[in-house]
């Protein structure tokens, strides 16, 4: 009897040991599988799924700097294509053809023809090239004025008061009123319109340059440069001006769309470019007389093309603002 009890107890002990070994083996296998899954997700040893690729692609597209590079490149390509096409078109592309008067948009004439049989697609491209040229002259002129006055405002407190008063004076007058008066004084034409726009679109950019200069004056390396014997002009040219280049460049680009729209506005009123020059303002002004006759394409397509070019400049300026980390685009107008 004792031997039977001892054998049963030994069998029970052996069974318990076998069960413990099986349980330990199962735990080891579970830990190994869990560790391999974690290692695959953490270190990328396992093959990524389609969801991983999609998530990575969406994350890269949501990157603001990468998105700014993409949209900025597309805007540059669009502006370059429009400007080069308008400049390289032959002079005979906008000649009159009385046999093709008042034609609706077709494959031969995508934007239709006007009352003289001129192809509106060619006229629109030439008008956009002229508008871009006026905007370039006006934006560069306004940027140069803003830079000079901003640098002068940081030279002394008396000069700063005078320039601040001039900036407030120009900002208190509406742009269109100032443009009309200055364009009339300069006699119109491409140079006159560009000068009028440049003289009315510098105040906000000058205010930004002035604020940057005042902030830079209190910087430690500027104070050290003065103590080392460098003059104010040397400090401004060697240390302050390179810091202002990104702000100035973005500001000039953001002046472009406003310059183009205001050029079209004063040309539409008859105070800008001459009727012989192809310009979007002239095209829109002339088309007003024919809209009641159902010739909608004379104003729709040129206006849409102008809107796309203006939007391209705005996108380019905002993209550069994102890449350079400069101030808000709403400050420069």
Beta carbons of 283 and 119 less than 8 angstroms apart = no
Cα–Cα distance for residue pair 93/129, rounded to 1 Å: 14
Where residue 25 falls among pLDDT bands split at 50, 70, 90? low
Beta carbons of 100 and 109 less than 8 angstroms apart = yes
Q: Regarding predicted confidence, which is higher, 327 or 153?
A: 153
pLDDT digits (tens, 9 = 90+) for 201-232: 888 888 888 888 878 877 777 777 777 777 77
Beta carbons of 175 and 200 less than 8 angstroms apart = yes
Residue 54: predicted pLDDT: 54
Beta carbons of 263 and 271 less than 8 angstroms apart = no
Cα–Cα distance for residue pair 174/193, rounded to 1 Å: 16
Enter the pTM of the model: 0.68
Written as six digits, the tokens of 187 are 């006699």
pLDDT digits (tens, 9 = 90+) for 54-100: 555 555 556 788 888 888 889 889 988 988 888 888 877 777 777 88
Cα–Cα distance for residue pair 242/62, rounded to 1 Å: 31
Tell me: pLDDT of 49 over 60: no
Q: Any idea how long the chain is?
A: 333
pLDDT digits (tens, 9 = 90+) for 117-169: 888 888 888 888 888 888 888 888 888 898 888 878 777 788 888 888 988 88
Q: Which of 51-60, 174-183, 247-256, 323-332 has the lowest mean pLDDT?
A: 51-60
The sign of the dihedral angle between the CA atoms of 115, 118, 120, 125 is: negative
Q: Match 């930004």 to its residue by tokens.
A: 208
Phi, psi torsion values for 307, nearest 5 degrees: -65, -40
The sign of the dihedral angle between the CA atoms of 139, 144, 147, 149 is: negative
Percent of the chain with pLDDT over 90: 1
Give the three-class secondary structure for 95: coil
Beta carbons of 74 and 68 less than 8 angstroms apart = no
The burial class, CB within 10 Å (0-12 / 13-18 / 19+), for 61 is: exposed
């Amino acid at each position: 009897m004792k031997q039977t009890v001892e054998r049963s107890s030994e069998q029970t002990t052996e069974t318990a040991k076998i069960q413990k070994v099986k349980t330990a083996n199962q735990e080891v296998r579970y830990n190994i599988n869990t560790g391999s899954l974690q290692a695959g997700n953490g270190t990328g040893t396992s093959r990524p799924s389609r969801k991983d690729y999609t998530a990575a692609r969406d994350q890269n597209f949501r990157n603001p700097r990468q998105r700014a590079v993409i949209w900025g490149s597309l805007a540059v390509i669009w502006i370059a294509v429009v400007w080069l096409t308008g400049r390289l078109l032959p002079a005979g592309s906008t000649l009159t053809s009385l046999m093709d008067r008042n034609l609706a948009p077709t494959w031969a004439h995508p934007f239709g023809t006007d009352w003289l049989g001129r192809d509106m697609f060619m006229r629109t491209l030439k008008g956009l090239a002229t508008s871009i040229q006026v905007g370039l002259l006006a934006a560069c002129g306004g940027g140069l004025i803003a830079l000079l006055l901003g640098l002068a405002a940081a030279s002394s407190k008396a000069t700063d008061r005078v320039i601040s008063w001039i900036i407030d004076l120009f900002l208190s007058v509406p742009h269109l009123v100032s443009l009309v008066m200055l364009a009339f004084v300069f006699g119109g034409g491409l140079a006159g319109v560009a000068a009028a726009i440049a003289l009315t679109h510098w105040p906000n950019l000058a205010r930004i340059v002035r604020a940057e200069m005042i902030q830079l004056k209190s910087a430690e390396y500027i104070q050290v440069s003065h103590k080392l014997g460098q003059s104010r002009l040397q400090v401004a040219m060697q240390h302050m001006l390179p810091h202002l280049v990104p702000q100035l460049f973005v500001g000039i680009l953001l002046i472009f769309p406003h310059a183009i729209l205001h050029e079209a506005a004063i040309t539409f009123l008859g105070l800008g470019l001459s009727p012989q020059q192809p310009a979007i303002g002239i095209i829109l002004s002339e088309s007003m007389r024919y809209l009641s006759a159902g010739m909608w394409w004379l104003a729709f397509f040129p206006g849409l093309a102008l809107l796309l070019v203006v939007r391209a400049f705005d996108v380019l300026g905002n993209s550069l603002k994102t890449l350079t980390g400069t101030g808000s685009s709403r400050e420069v107008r």
